[in-house]
Amino acid sequence: MAFLRNTKRDAKIPDASMADVAFLMITFFMLTTAIAMTRGIFYKVPEQMDQNTEQENKNPAIYLYVDASGNLQIDGKPSRMQDIIPYCKEKLSVNENKPVLIDCNEAQDYQKMMDMFDQVKKTEEQLWGDFNKDKPESQKKRIKITIPTTEEAMTFRPQ
């Protein structure tokens, strides 16, 4: 009855070299890992801004508005249609990404708004006409012209 003898062995995973493998892995990772050494706190102090730049940052856009009586206001100041080009050129030369908001009172006709739009497009031509001449459409500089919603207009509109 030798075939009935218990020949079952215990399942055992050999772990004799486990410590050696772990030590080698620790050594490998210590040698290959870059150690970042910080020597103090690095920060960049903002540059001194002049008064004009600070004032430019307060106005996020150029706001053109024609009120019910037909008077043009540029950023809340009474103006004429001829003042749009020099005013926009001055502001856009400081920040060319500044959008231009064109707004009219509901009582005004559509032509007033189109006249303002034409003036802004003339400004674009004067500012970047030579730059845009031979460029593809995707690389041309453009003035961002928008017509504000009623809620947006209320934040810019003079009271």
Chain segment 94-149, per-residue pLDDT in tens? 888 888 888 888 888 888 888 888 888 888 888 777 777 787 877 788 888 888 88
For residues 139 and 28, the model is more confident at 28
Residue 56 has what pLDDT?
A: 53
Residue 2 has what pLDDT?
A: 56
Rounded-to-integer distance, Cα 70 and Cα 26, Å: 79
Chain segment 31-74, per-residue pLDDT in tens? 888 776 666 666 666 666 665 555 555 677 888 888 888 888 88
Mean pLDDT along residues 148-156? 80
Helices and strands in the chain, H and E counts: 5, 5
Structure tokens at 95: 């920040």
Q: Are the beta carbons of 72 and 127 closer than 8 angstroms?
A: no
Does residue 1 register a pLDDT over 70?
Answer: no
Distances (CA, A) of 98 to 23, 32, 93, 135: 60, 49, 10, 21
State the architecture of 60-156 in CATH terms. Answer: 2-Layer Sandwich (3.30)
